[in-house]
With several copies, the nearest count.
Chain A
Amino acid sequence: MPDSRSTVLENRDLGGGVWLLRFRDPTIADDVGPGQFVMIACSPPYEPLLLRRPFSIQRVEGDVYEVLYRDVGKGTHRMTKMQVGDEVQVLGPLGNSFTMPRPDETAVLLGGGVGIPPMVALADALEAAGHTRWAAYVGVSGIVDEGCFVGFDERWPNDDRVRRATMDGSIGFEGHVVAAWLDRGITGPTRAYACGPMVMLRAVADTAGTHDVPCEVSVETMMGCGVGACMSCVIENRAYRDGDEAARKSMSPYDRWLLACRKGPVFPSDRIVLDDGGFLH
């Protein structure tokens, strides 16, 4: 008896907890004696999932909010199966927010891939506050990922303030977002904001540092609880690592690692070490 795939023809609720299942399967139905049985896999073997997954809120409209996500693993893959009308348990909103720019500052928003959502949220907030002096540089690898642009595309489809970049040049600027930013140049009082892969955040922070631009980044560490209870989501405190002996001595070792879910996810880029030893993407 080889293992076989049977197709469900009917799965009838007969009431009282009794159900009738009918399958089509020539292999099995071929030669059955009365009293024989089958072993049904009630579900494929799979990874049980315990922990919630964190996602940035991209946009809020009335009582509706949206989340942009990439199917990268167990949890996000399941999310692709959510059906209209499903009820999903969600904890939030969590964490802190970006600091608003001063009125004279140009807000530069840099987003990479699924790091674009917080930039959409920020652009919405800036517009709502009447701060129209902003420019967004949003990048993905190529046309295959252009879905990540949806937040900007929907609201600012032909807005000069939004510059799209792709690594392969298939859309907009060819290269990464920092190159796109520098390509336009940094003029006048500027404040930078970024979210994306660690390597991108580092490039943004370096550039901001070089140009004396205040900069905030949103970091995406591994999170167990999202509320400060598990202490898993830490990112290193720059003052602790780079401070001189005296400075470090004056700090508590407890403050070496900062909880990204509670003190963040937004940090001044010079406050944290943008290097996770390559553990995150």
Chain B
Amino acid sequence: MTDLSVRIGDVVAKNPVMLASGTAGYGPELSGGLDMSRLGGFVTKGIAVHPWEGNAPPRIAETPGGMLNAIGLQNVGLEAFLEDKVPYLNRMRTADTVVAVNVIGKTVQEYHDVAKGLRGCDAIDALELNISCPNIKEGGIAFGTDCVAAAEVTAATVEGSDKPVWVKLSPNVADIASMGVAVEEAGAAALSVINTLLGMAIDLEKRRPLLSLGWGGLSGPAIKPVALRMTWQVSQACSIPVLGMGGIRSAKDALEFMVCGATAVQIGTANFANPNTAAEVVDGMTTWCDERGIERISEIVGTLNA
């Protein structure tokens, strides 16, 4: 049987399939009886140094082949996270599932503070820096669209942390490869590609946006071609591992990201349509590799003939 394990820097995942931040809460929300021990990894909902309210509803809207969300990073804050959520994450670690904590902040200092606050927490394998959330009025997106700011927040977090720092890039840029290079140089251990595309949906009769914030982040199959292209561009430009995501629903989708340069993949929106997606992707990968006599799945990473 194929060896599905992959290395994301110093972190070894037993398979390349993770749940994406914001689509499975802090773990206990894993839905539909999905067995977390099947997962290669799990990324928590974003955590800030203080609790955040998030946006007023409506927070989601369905669009052709995708969905918009503007949750606004409602989160319990660092303290409650350590107290209430970490125990469950420990169980995941025991189940040999990589745990990454998605980190958010409004200032460089806040990112740094979360990283520091998570020091010594053994339940966690890595931080994933969300510098690309389009759903808050301040912060977030600004870091994600400017190379200098992105490098700065990365460096500050790396400095504060005792764990590898993955940086999640925004697709709302002209040149995502430069962003990747900038944060790699600033000390990122891996790159998560991509967060959501900024989009809008409206209620024609009421002549107002469907989301209370006005706009939101587009995810799901609709964005897969953009995500695949960016995964390829970033993995070509950078030498640290890439975690690919955007519209993955099947093993075939996931394998396409790996061929385009992703060492591992994350699954987000598809969890809502089918809570068992991640397990099915792991199974499908196994079969696909077995049928083709692929010994280690890591062999296929970045093998695209382009």
Which residues from chain A sit less than 8 Å from chain B, CB to CB? 1-3, 41, 45, 47-52, 74, 89, 91, 221-222, 224-236, 252-254, 256-257, 262, 276-280
Contact = CB atoms under 8 A, between A and B. Distances in A.
Range, interface on chain B = 35 or more
Contacts, number: 137
Chain B facing A: main interface SS: loop
Given A229-B23, A279-B58, A3 B53 contact: no
Contact of B64 (A47, A226, A256, A277): A47
Contact of A257 (B31, B60, B74, B221): B74
A51 B273 contact: yes
B56 interface: yes
The 4 closest A-B pairs by CB, nearest first: A2-B33, A3-B32, A227-B31, A254-B51
Contact of A230 (B52, B62, B71, B76): B71
A243 B283 CA distance: 51
Nearest to B250: A45
B74 A254 contact: yes
B25 A222 contact: no
B216 to A, nearest CB: 10
B57 interface: yes
B271 A225 contact: yes
B31 A91 contact: yes
B294 interface: no
Given A277-B56, A278-B206, 4 more contacts: A225-B29, A232-B57, A257-B56, A257-B57
A49 B62 CA distance: 8
Contacts of B57: 221-222, 232-235, 257, 276, 279
Nearest to A53: B62
Contacts of A224: 60, 67, 69, 272
A54 B243 CA distance: 32
Contacts of B75: 254
19 contacts: A1-B32, A2-B33, A3-B31, A3-B33, A3-B276, A41-B274, A45-B273, A50-B62, A51-B60, A51-B62, A89-B274, A221-B57, A225-B275, A229-B271, A230-B23, A231-B25, A232-B58, A232-B59, A257-B74
Contacts of B61: 222
A222 B58 contact: yes
Interface in B168-210: 206
A39 B3 CA distance: 36
B64 A51 contact: no
B270 interface: yes
A2 B66 CA distance: 25
Chain A facing B: main interface SS: loop
Nearest to B27: A229
B53 A256 contact: yes
Given A50-B62, A50-B65, A229 B80 contact: no
A51 B67 contact: yes
Interface of B: 22-25, 28-33, 45, 50-54, 56-62, 64-67, 69, 71, 74-77, 80, 206, 212, 220-221, 249, 269-276
B52 A50 contact: no
B67 A253 contact: no
A50 B54 contact: no
A233 B60 CA distance: 8
Given A50-B269, A225-B31, A230-B23, A252 B77 contact: yes
Contacts of B32: 1-3, 91, 227
A225 B184 CA distance: 34
B224 to A, nearest CB: 11
B23 A50 contact: no
A225 B212 CA distance: 19
Contacts of A52: 272-273
Contacts of B66: 50
Contacts of B249: 45
Contact of B33 (A1, A225, A231): A1
Contacts of B206: 278
A51 to B, nearest CB: 5
Contacts of B24: 229
Contacts of A227: 29, 31-32, 275
B50 to A, nearest CB: 8
Nearest to A3: B32
A3 B22 CA distance: 20
Contact of A50 (B71, B76, B273, B275): B273
A49 B24 CA distance: 20
A260 B249 CA distance: 26
